[in-house]
Amino acid sequence: ISVWSNVPAGPPDPILGITEAFKKDSSPQKINLGVGAYRDADGKPYVLPSVLAAEDKVISERNDKEYLPITGLGTFTQAAAVLAYGTDSKPLSEGRVAITQSLSGTGALRIAGAFLARHYPHAKEIYVPSPTWGNHIPIFRDSGLEVKTYSYYDKKTVGLDFEGLKKDLKAMPDKSIVLLHACAHNPTGIDPTEAQWREISDVIKSKGHFPLIDNAYLGFASGSVDKDAFALRHFVEEGHQLILCQSFAKNMGLYGERVGTFSVVCADKEEKARVDSQIKILVRPMYSNPPVHGARVASTLLTDKKLNAQWLAEVKGMADRIIDMRSTLFDLLHELGSKKKWDHIKNQIGMFAYLGISPEQVDQLAREHHIYLTRDGRISVAGVTKHNVRHLAESLHKVTA
């Protein structure tokens, strides 16, 4: 009898299941709105021209392939921190941010979970928004934290349940760990306004909660890095000691290169040095040190003036195409005579739109219209193009009429 005969089959990943069903569908009209990766105006994967140019530059340097330090490529982590925290960030200029390169956003969250489980003195639970990115829950559970939720989505308005959110923040035990999506909340696409962020910061401060900020979409939401960094920078200015998890998967299109950062805002340089030493103790037995190629490409994009300007313009191009597809879809639904209120499609931001439709309507979209999305009614707007948007609008109108 085999050693593994008692290993039970696990459930399939819901997103990969959608891709399977999509592949099997032979209709020329089929649309896959499940995957969270950007597609160009023709629905094709997109490698940013600035990334190709940075890659050419990196390859022409004929670098060696030696190991990076445990905390990664210093030029990259430094430039990534400036991008997120801002050029005039006090903790950065005071040298009190402990930062390490991570295996994209997921790897940063995994280090965060492990670091908090081992060193955060006040709690072993983490509160995540309901709903949240599906992977948050197993990431933190596997890191040794108990996962709890706070109110976020309001089904009635397909918007933010701001009162419920504040109420839950106040009801948690003092000094709880709270996960916040910095911008472009996944899966809902619903972000607090700047005024609401200020209030959230005040409540978190009054309760002494610890903010863990997941920033997987910097620049990708609005097209402006500074705008998308508002919540993070406001929290830092307000004196929160926080952890930031940063991903370059979406804003640089470096998905498979696994480029990200994990950083901790510390009280002073001496504390930063102690935190740094503990990050190394966590990372060394997990994966020893991070991969070098993607970090060199990202570092080039962040530090080469010309390529940096080109990259920022291309990020804005991606964000603009998504925003444009949101209005086109909205306008078409109106034009087709839909009586439903679809304003949320335009008001939401980032890669995803939460349609506010039922799982049965999602099934009907797949069965009758060859349109594939997750059963929570989330579509990746990046998968919508001028070629398929009419079919999407007509089908959506039909299943909701």
Torsion 374-153-345-218 (CA) sign: negative
Residue nearest to ligand PLP (CB): 105
Confirm or reject binding of residue 186 to ligand PLP (CB under 6 A): yes
**Any idea which residues carry the catalytic annotation?**
133, 214, 250
Confirm or reject binding of residue 55 to ligand PLP (CB under 6 A): no
Q: Which of 53, 186, 62 is nearest to 132 (CA)?
A: 186
In the complex, least distance from residue 127 CB atom to ligand PLP, rounded to whole angstroms: 15
Q: Phi and psi of 367, rounded to 5°?
A: -65, -45
Query: Which of 50, 101, 106, 251 touches ligand PLP by CB under 6 A?
Result: 106
Between 104 and 263, name the residue whose CB sits nearer to ligand PLP: 104
Torsion 169-171-175-178 (CA) sign: negative
Tokens of 394: 């007509």
Residue type for 351, please? M
Which residue is listed with tokens 């959506």?
A: 396
Confirm or reject binding of residue 261 to ligand PLP (CB under 6 A): no
Between 161 and 191, name the residue whose CB sits nearer to ligand PLP: 191
Between 104 and 385, name the residue whose CB sits nearer to ligand PLP: 104
Specify the stretch interacting with ligand PLP by CB under 6 A; choose among 98-106, 198-206, 324-332, 393-401.
98-106
Binding mask 16-45 for ligand PLP (x = CB under 6 A): --------------------x---------
Between 186 and 201, name the residue whose CB sits nearer to ligand PLP: 186
Tokens of 339: 């009586």
**What is the C-alpha to C-alpha distance for residues 97 and 94, in angstroms, rounded to an integer?**
8
Query: Which of 168, 191, 214, 376 touches ligand PLP by CB under 6 A?
Result: 214
Q: Write the CA distances from 234 to 18, 230, 333, 375, integer angstroms.
A: 38, 6, 37, 35
By CB under 6 A, the residues from 124 to 153 that bind ligand PLP are 133
Check if the beta carbon of residue 375 is closer than 8 Å to that of residue 18.
no
Query: Which of 71, 100, 101, 104 touches ligand PLP by CB under 6 A?
Result: 104
Specify the stretch interacting with ligand PLP by CB under 6 A; choose among 99-107, 151-159, 166-174, 332-340.
99-107
Between 214 and 314, name the residue whose CB sits nearer to ligand PLP: 214
Query: Which of 216, 218, 283, 329 touches ligand PLP by CB under 6 A?
Result: 216
In the complex, least distance from residue 288 CB atom to ligand PLP, rounded to whole angstroms: 19
* Residue numbers at the binding site for ligand PLP (CB under 6 A): 36, 104-106, 133, 181, 186, 214, 216, 247, 249, 255, 260
